[in-house]
Amino acid sequence: MNATNVTWHHGEVSPEAREALLGHRGACLWLTGLSGSGKSTLARRVERLLVERGIHAYVLDGDNLRHGLCSDLGFSAEDREENIRRVGEVARLFVDSGAIVLAAFISPYQSDRARVRALFEEGVFMEIHVATPLEECERRDPKGLYAKARSGEITSFTGISAPYEAPEHAELTVDTASRDLDACAAEVVEWLWEAGVVGTPA
């Protein structure tokens, strides 16, 4: 931290009080995977399922945050690191409010994800690897990015001309190529129940 004479101010509402009010504890579900793997789509479906059950959930989407908070960042290794640092801090604030935040970001570097994990207490940060194979992601290519990367129009593209470091110890691994969206989303919700984050799934 570059600023000096800055103090973290604690509120008068405890995490336990927020949990009693909301009926669940805050948590960060970090969805990582290649572009086109289905991270954002899965996060939005899980968000809907949770909200329909009265659970305070919110999606932080990589593209959306680059429209505002991270609009000054590019895709160099340094900018990717700063992007994830900012997102991690935002996610921590959401969790502190008692929300279940679903952060859907390629976040290709293990070190960046580890730094975000370190912001949270044990059991609050949960990494979900959306492990859709590169071949399937490239076949989908919903934004046409893989085609541009293959032609050289886009450089430093994760999975093609830039590395993706897959999680070694993710709490959950999901493959959207072998299962449909509803099945994958239901698996995540059931897993949250088993982890004691939310109540019994309907």
| Digit-coded pLDDT (tens) for 78-95 | 998 999 999 999 999 999
Strand ranges of the sheet holding 125-130, from the earlier edge strand across to the other edge: 57-61, 100-104, 27-32, 125-130, 172-174
* Chain segment 97-107, per-residue pLDDT in tens: 999 999 999 99
Residue 4: per-residue pLDDT: 72
Catalytic residue among 97, 107, 151, 178: 107
Domains of the chain with CATH codes? 23-194 (3.40.50.300)
Residue 146: per-residue pLDDT: 92
The answer to whether the CB of 197 falls within 8 A of the CB of 27 is: yes
Residue 47: per-residue pLDDT: 98
Q: Is the pLDDT of residue 126 over 70?
A: yes
Per-residue pLDDT band at 3 (split at 50, 70, 90): low
Q: Is the pLDDT of residue 202 over 60?
A: no
Global pTM reads: 0.89
Report the run of H or E that residue 9 belongs to, with start and end: none
Strands 172-174 and 125-130: parallel
Q: Is the pLDDT of residue 8 over 80?
A: no
Residue 200: per-residue pLDDT: 58
Q: 86, 87, 97: which is closest to 57 by C-alpha?
A: 97
Q: 30, 97, 15, 85: which is closest to 61 by C-alpha?
A: 30
Q: Is the pLDDT of residue 1 over 60?
A: no
* Chain segment 129-167, per-residue pLDDT in tens: 999 999 999 999 888 999 999 999 998 899 999 999 999
User: Annotated catalytic, 107?
Assistant: yes
What CA–CA distance (Å, rounded) separates 91 from 125?
Answer: 10
Q: 158, 138, 181: which is closest to 76 by C-alpha?
A: 158
Q: What is the mean pLDDT of the chain?
A: 91
Q: Is the pLDDT of residue 117 over 90?
A: yes
Specify the DSSP class assigned to residue 26: -
3-state helix vs strand vs coil in the chain, percent to 5: 40, 15, 45
Query: Rounded mean pLDDT of 154-181?
Result: 93
Q: 50, 109, 56: which is closest to 83 by C-alpha?
A: 109
In 49-117, DSSP assigns E strands to: 57-61, 100-104
Percentage of the chain surpassing pLDDT 70?
97
Give Cβ neighbours of residue 13 (< 8 Å, ≥ 6 apart): none
